[in-house]
Structure 1
Amino acid sequence: MNRILSILGLALIPFLFSGCFSSGEKNTPLPKLGNWHIDEKTVDGKVIQDTVYHQIADFSFTNQDGETITKTSVEGKVYVADFFFTTCPTICPIMKKEMLRVYEEYADNPDFKILSHSIDPTHDTQEVLKDYAYKLGIEDAETWNFLTGDAEKIYEIGQTSYMTTAQEDQAAAGGFLHSGAFVLVDQNGHIRGVYDGTKTDQVDQLISDIPKLLGK
């Protein structure tokens, strides 16, 4: 007999985003964020409890170099995910300026990646993303992947896996609605921190939290 206990976590992020979901202390382990449940079952007469944490779902997108990037591509890696579009007239330029700081800090670490998902894949083709990355000073996708693909799949993984706002909205500036969230994901696909990518102090916290997962 299974007994499931569920706790709601990241669904509230769009409303609570003024706070950073991370551990502030230098040596404090980062929490695992999102929905989780305790799966309780009886095996050989013994009650066994297993905590099942929220994980990023399978995905398959194309980066600026035309390479297919999947969940397998980042298995065993620490990465930061965000959502943007190249013609964004509001927060995206600030986010990319802040993400550049993260990139510059960890670009040489083979165990670290950045996944930036375009929420306007119709316009943001591989070629457009390649040019966008080049203008930011990113000449290859070794560390920082700018992703395009099926729009509905991008919106779905943004909202259900990364628990952030990512959708088309004609009423929004530029025709798309997204948060400024930088989502920190560990080697097993668990969300370990959410940071406001438009605020320097929260990105500073992200930069200091990443080594807690890298073990360095």
Structure 2
Amino acid sequence: MKRLFLVIFSISIISACSQSEKKLPILGEREAVEKIVDGKTVVDTVYKTIPDFSFLNQDSIVINSDSLTNSIYIADFFFTSCPSICPIMSKNMLSIYNKYKGNNEVRFLSYSIDPKHDTIPVLKKYATKLGVEGSQWSFLLGDRDTVYNLARNGYMSYTKENADAPGGVEHSGYFILVDKEKRIRGAYDGTDKTQVETLTNDIDILLAEYKTNK
């Protein structure tokens, strides 16, 4: 019995170590750059990062790249009058938000792709109805073209007007996980509970990665 306990205990330690050492991939474009380190030329990999941005949230607070310093975050694109996937996405994002509520190391950004309708009061009402308080989860309002370009060129996502689409706008339903260096570390179908669970697990892995590197 004692030997069995020691075997189980050893396996548990190995499993825990494996989990803590696991790292998420870095997604997106990359390029090799030469630099001089200690007088020697070395090749380093530079990954594409999310471009700087600045928007107002539901409380008329400016949220920009600097606002997210020392935080990882999950981003998505939505509009409050969306009759199709957005309500499902918001519900699933809420479940993640509730798990990390109060943890400023984890933030949430939902970019409105219908700024003509989604004014600050409309976004505030939407956030309040979900039970969101403070700026840990920000519902962002900005110029439509700026948001569309950020989705396409920053988050590897897409949004476009389409008269045949529900609500007149077609957009990606993905949740994008971004690290503290503004690099994309994962993309998950925000309407799929299994992928949302994977995202939650990956958030923990990413947080552990930063603790390991301290």
Q: What TM-score bracket applies, with the shorter chain setting the length? A: 0.7 to 0.9
Choose from 169, 172, 179 the match for 2:165: 172
Over the matched positions of the two proteins, sequence identity in percent amounts to 50
Q: Which residue of 2 aligns with 1:30?
A: 24
Q: What are the equivalent positions in structure 2 for 1:27-176 lying under 5 Å apart?
A: 27=20, 28-40=22-34, 46-141=40-135, 143-176=136-169
1:214 aligns with 2:196: no
The TM-score, its normalising length taken from structure 1, stands at 0.84
Distance in 1 (CA, whole Å) between partners of 2:39 and 2:199 is 45
Q: Give the Cα–Cα distance (whole angstroms) in 1 for the partners of residues 78 and 163 of structure 2.
A: 15
Deviation track 1:123-148 (CA, whole Å, cap 9, x = no partner) reads 1011100000011111332x100001
Letter in 2 for 1:107: K
The answer to whether the Cα contact below 8 Å between 1:75 and 1:189 also exists between their aligned partners in 2 is no
- Report the secondary structure of 2:206's partner residue: helix
SS at match of 1:193: strand
Higher fraction of helix: 2
Any idea what the Cα deviations from partners look like across 1:105-125, whole Å, max 9, x if unmatched?
Answer: 101211110000000011101
Amino acid at match of 1:120: D
Q: For 1:115, give the aligned amino acid.
A: L
For structure 1, which runs of at least 5 residues remain unmatched after alignment? 1-24
Change (3 A) 1:124 1:43: same
Q: Distance in 1 between matches of 2:167 and 2:19?
A: 39
CA contact (8 A) 1:58 1:70 kept: yes
State the distance in 2 between where 1:112 and 1:43 align: 33
TM-score computed with the length of structure 2 as normaliser: 0.84
Say which SS state the counterpart of residue 202 (structure 1) adopts. Answer: helix
Structure 1 CA distance for aligned equivalents of residues 207 and 147 of structure 2: 27
CA contact (8 A) 1:30 1:192 kept: yes
In the TM superposition, what is the alpha-carbon distance from 1:179 to its structure 2 partner?
1.1
Cα deviation for residue 75 of structure 1 reads 1.9
Q: Which of structures 1 and 2 has the bigger CA Rg?
A: 2
1:44 CA displacement: 9.4
* Gap runs ≥5 in structure 2: 1-17
Runs of 4+ in 1 over 2 A off after TM superposition: 25-28, 40-48, 167-171
Instruction: Write the letter of the residue equivalent to 1:74.
Output: L
Deviation at 1:40?
2.8
Paired residues in the alignment total: 191
Q: What is the DSSP-based 3-state SS (H/G/I as helix, E as strand, rest coil) of the residue aligned with 1:188?
A: coil
- Residue 198 (structure 2) pairs with residue 200 (structure 1): no
Taking only aligned residues, the RMSD between alpha carbons, in angstroms, comes to 1.7
